[in-house]
Amino acid sequence: MKFKKNYLINELDLPYSALVDDITDTSRWSIHHEIVFEHEGKFYQTYYSEGATEMQDESPWEYEEDVDCDEVELKEVKVMKWVPVSK
């Protein structure tokens, strides 16, 4: 689903009101985020970047007018992980 950038920022107060806001990557100039937010009883996930320093003037979805968002749901997920052997 596509949302207008202005709607996300002005009406939904994103990214500040997001239910989840995880940093997924960093670069020299930007911090990349993945967020989950609620809209009309459904949950959506999307991404944005912001400037990494006070000198980098980059705001969420600065270069996008329409923002692609995927509908998501919360599910339990089991994960295999390497852990130290108890001695």
- List the chain domain ranges: 2-72
State residue 43's pLDDT score. 98
Q: What is the pTM of this model?
A: 0.86
Secondary structure (H, E, C), 5-73: HHHHHHHCCCCCCCCEEEEEEECCCEEEEEEEEEECCEEEEEEEEEECCCCCCCCCCCCCCEEECEEEC
The pLDDT-based confidence of 34 (bands split at 50, 70, 90) is very high
Q: Which pLDDT belongs to residue 87?
A: 83
Mean pLDDT of the chain: 95
